[in-house]
Copies of this chain bind each other. A is one copy, B any other.
Amino acid sequence: MPEATRTDLYEVTMAMAYLDHGLTGEATFSLFARSLPPERGFLVAAGLESVLDMLERYHVDAHDAAVLAHALHRPAGDLAGLRGTRFTGSVRAVPEGRIVLANEPLLEVTAPLPQAQLVESMLLNRVSHQTAVASKAARCVIAAAGRPVVDFSLRRTHGAEAADQAARLGALVGFAATSNVEAAHRYDLPATGTMAHSFIEAFEDERAAFRAFAASHPGPLTFLVDTYDTESGTRHAADVLRETGRTAGAAIRLDSGDLGDLAVRARRILDGAGLPHVAIVASGGLDEYAIDALVGRGAPIDIYAVGTKVGVSADAPYLDTAYKLVSYRGRPTMKLSTGKTTLPGPHQSWRRPRYADVTATLDEPAPPDGEPLMETVMRNGRRTGPRPSQAASHRRFARDFAMLPAAARRIRGPVAPGARLSPALESLVDEVRERLVSRQRGA
C-alpha cells in the first residue's frame, strides 16, 4: 500500500525541514469544511474509517523513501530521518454518519509535527470526497420521501474505488441496494439489477427477451420497458408477467423520456392488466432535484435508482475543506490569509437542541444541553475500538437526521444551521490574532 508516497510532495519537504530543525513536538491539526456548497443544509460526516485504515497502515519503508528521494532529486540518504516513520498519534473525530455543519471540525489529529503533516493529503482526500457524496446521497433519501432509493453509479464515478464508496455511503444514509456487486460483497449490501437495453436488442423482439430472462432467473423480475416504446414495452412486460405467473415482487423500469408522464401511463397499463402490485422503478439521470419534482407531481414511481449525478455529487463534487495546524507544543496557532482564517487550538463541538451547535475549545466544560460530536477514535496509532458496523453508522445518521430542522432538509434553498463559537473560543481567536499581527508588525 503506497500510503507514504501517495502524498503531496510538500508534506515531505516540510517533514524533512521539521526533523532538521527539531520541530518534532506535538501538533494538532483540525480538518473542517470552511463552508457548505450551495444547496446544502448539512453535511454527513464520512471518510473516517478509510482515514483510520490508512493511519494504521502508514509506514515509510525503504522503497517509499527511495521514491520520495527520487521525487526530490535528493540522495536516498537524505531521507534517512523519515525512514521507518509510522503514525503514532491520536485522532479525535466525528463518527461516520453524524450530521455536521460548516466550521465544525470533522477530525483532529494530534501527533509529532512531522507525522501529522505527512498524512495531510490523504486525510483531506478521504474525508472531503466521502463527506460530499454521503451528503448528496442523504438529500436523495429526503427527496424520495420514504420510497426506496438504490445506487446505480458504478459506471460514472471517478474510478472503481469511488464507486465502492458511493455504494457504501448510499447505504450509510439509507439506500436500499446497490448495483455494484463488489461493493455489495465488501460492505454486505443488497445487490440489485436485472437488464439493460442491449439485452432487449439482442433478441428478436421484446417479449422474447422478457421470456428468456424470466426463464433464466427464478427471483423477482424487473423488466426494462423503454428500449423501443415505453407503453408497448409495458404491455409486453405485463403479458410476460401474466403468462409466466411471475408477478410476485415484479417491477418494470423506466429509463428515458418524461418519467412522470410515462409512469402514469405505465401504471394505468399495469393496473388495467390486473397487475396493481407490479412496481415501477425509475432511472436515468436522477438526482434529488429530479426525484423531488417527480414526487411533487405525484408520479406513481415506487423505487428511484440514482447513478451518475449522485455518485459524483454532480452539483457539488468537492467540499471546501482544510486541514490546519491549530496548536504546536500547546501553543494555539492560526492562519490569517484573506478569507481563510482558522480557529486556533484543539476543539470540541457540541450538538445542542435544534442544531444550535457550539464549537468550543477542547478544555471547556460541556454546555448543559450539549452532546459532544467528536470522540477519541485513535490513540498511539491504533483504533480505540472496533470498526463500527454499517448498521451502527446508519443508526447514527438516522438519529441526527431525525432532529434536523426542516429548513436544513429542503431540496431547494436549504438553510444550514450555523455553529456558534463559544465565548472562550472567540476570546482565543482574538488573542492569537493579536499576538500574530503584532509579531508580524514587529518582524
Task: List residues of chain A with CB under 8 Å of any chain B CB.
Answer: 2, 5-14, 16-18, 20-21, 23, 27, 29, 67-68, 70-74, 113, 117, 120-122, 124-126, 128-129, 133, 152, 154-165, 179-185, 191-199, 201-207, 212-213, 215-219, 226-230, 232, 236, 255-258, 308-309, 312-314, 317-319, 321, 324-325, 328, 333-340, 436-437, 439-440, 443
Among candidates B10, B29, B72, B181, residue contacting A7 with C-beta atoms closer than 8 Å: B181
Closest to A161 in B: B159
A158 contacts which of B121, B159, B207, B213 (Cβ < 8 Å)? B159
Query: With contacts A159-B161, A339-B257 known, is A29 near B440, CB below 8 A?
Result: no
- The answer to whether B205 touches A13 (Cβ under 8 A) is no
Q: Are A227 and B196 in contact (CB under 8 A)?
A: no
- Pull 22 A–B residue pairs with CB atoms less than 8 Å apart, ordered by A: A6-B180, A6-B181, A6-B183, A7-B154, A7-B182, A8-B152, A12-B181, A13-B195, A17-B216, A125-B160, A157-B158, A159-B165, A201-B335, A205-B443, A206-B440, A227-B335, A228-B336, A229-B336, A232-B443, A257-B338, A309-B318, A317-B317
Note all chain B residues with C-beta closer than 8 A to A161. 158-162
Task: Let me know if B181 and A337 touch, CB within 8 A.
Answer: no
Given contacts A10-B194, A165-B159, A195-B14, contact A216 B20 (CB under 8 A): yes
Chain B residue nearest in CB terms to A128: B156
Question: Which residues of chain B are near A216, meaning CB under 8 Å?
Answer: 13, 16-17, 20-21
| Chain B nearest Cβ from A299, distance in angstroms | 16
**Closest chain B CB from A93 CB (angstroms):** 17
Of the candidates B125, B160, B232, B312, the one whose C-beta lies within 8 Å of that of A155 is B125
Which of chain B's residues has its CB closest to A71's CB?
B191
Q: How far is the CB of A11 from chain B (nearest CB, A)?
A: 8
Known contacts A199-B17, A338-B257, A440-B228: A10-B179 contact under CB 8 Å? yes
